[in-house]
Chain A
Amino acid sequence: MRQAVGAVLRKDLQLELRAPQAVPAMALFSVTTLVVFHFALQRNTVEGELAAGVLSVTLLFAAMLGISRLFVAEREEGGFDAFLLAPVDRTALLVAKALALLCFLVAVEVVLVPAFALLLLGPGLDAGTVAQLAGLLLLVDAGIAVVGTLVSAIAVQTRTRDLLVPLLGLPLLIPVVIGLARGATPLFLEAGAEALPGRWLLVLALYDLTFGLLAYALFDYLVED
């Protein structure tokens, strides 16, 4: 299992390193979205709830781009068939793909968060706030990665792949948005960052756990043929 996960993950990361496709597109999209927010909200700086909202929406929409591309190579180049021929557990594909998406999301955030702080965020970020934000984002990323992999695996087999990913993914990810927006609001307050409310970390962890187990149980049925 570990070997299979490692092999698929290595393949995905190597593909992305040799011919970067998903991560640059997501990163560029997220920075462009920040510019769009500047004009749409007609604000030079944002703080508090508005800042948390802008960050959540940007991250979520950027993630949708990566999610809809996640299994395209497998589908078009016959990777699914090759994987089914190999004597390995099918769940390995889920774990590897979710980890790959997690890596992509972290890479996007490395660009997104500094760009956000530079372009739009009113109050500055100190080291403590950044650490808390990183912890929160990691839980958010885990949720997006698990649900995104599941949605992507469903949508890639349909004729309307690119339409279905946001339609299925966005409602399923609403609890993650609530957690991120509520959790990040105290970090971006004008008067100075307050501590991250632990309740939202707990909600996000519960969400990640539930959908992790669910995806683990259901994924086998998505790669049969």
Chain B
Amino acid sequence: MRALPALTAITLTSGFGLAFFYAPMDADQGFMQKIFYVHVPLGIVALCGFVLGGIMGIQHLRTGDRRYDLRSYVAIHLSLILGVGVLLTGSIWAKASWGAWWVWDEPTLVSFLIVFLLYACYQPLRFSIEDPEKQARYASVFAVTAGAFVPLNFIAVRLAQAVIHPRVFATADGGLPAKMQLAFTVCLLGMALLYVTLWRYEMAAKQASWSLRSLKRRLGGDEAVAARGRSAAPSLPVT
């Protein structure tokens, strides 16, 4: 647990260091292209997080173990936060290279917005179901549906582009020079590690507050613990 935050900090720092000092300047876009090393890893990690939330949702429905619901919740919650970052950095990049804050002919950006809008309903959905057991079950069904929707939506939106926008970086594996590729890979790895670190911290915080509640209850009886208000966050049955 200790080593992970340090590893994350080192990888991310060296990734950004490589991006700024090692990777060559883009001939076309110049310095602005450096945002690519933040924007694309953020997007990839956020989407993987959404799909991970769906997989945890399947596990929850199959086993009935509420800890999987917590994992699914944390995965989606973090991906939503990263998603805000993706949309902001994407907007800045679009403004810099195409002159507009939003472009509709960039299929990846549009698909991401749709996915983000869908997942923005996840918390309101949880919040509007009071019974914790039912909340967990319905949230998992949503997580699985939305997780399957992510790839399908990307296919549909990409097909809808009559004229494919001239892409500066053909794809991450295609037209990228080797030096850029290296910097990008380290950045992606760093971002994935950041996600895992944050995930573990949030899980630890949630579990600690539950242990605290059940310890208080064991010491002082039921009245020692304030009744839990309605919440979007999942809860484990107090033992």
Contacts and interface: CB of A to CB of B under 8 A. Distances in A.
B137 A221 contact: yes
A218 B152 contact: no
B54 to A, nearest CB: 10
A171 B111 CA distance: 10
A214 B148 contact: yes
Interface residues of A, number: 28
B157 interface: yes
Interface SS of chain A: helix
Contacts of B138: 154, 157-158, 222
A59 to B, nearest CB: 17
Contacts, number: 78
B35 interface: no
B144 A218 contact: yes
Contacts of A175: 152-153, 156-157
Interface residues of B, number: 29
Find the residue from B134, B144, B146, B152 having the highest chain A CB count within 10 A: B152
Interface SS of chain B: helix
Nearest to A182: B160
10 contacts: A157-B129, A157-B138, A159-B129, A164-B128, A171-B121, A175-B152, A178-B156, A210-B148, A218-B145, A221-B137
Given A157-B129, A168-B118, A171-B115, 8 more contacts: A158-B125, A158-B129, A164-B121, A167-B121, A168-B125, A171-B117, A171-B118, A218-B141
Interface of B: 61, 114-115, 117-118, 121, 124-125, 128-130, 134, 137-138, 140-142, 144-146, 148-149, 152-153, 155-157, 159-160
Instruction: Give me the 3 closest cross-chain CB pairs, A-B, nearest first.
Output: A175-B156, A171-B118, A158-B128
Interface of A: 150, 154, 157-160, 163-164, 167-168, 171-172, 174-175, 178-179, 182, 199, 203, 206-207, 210-211, 214, 218, 221-222, 224
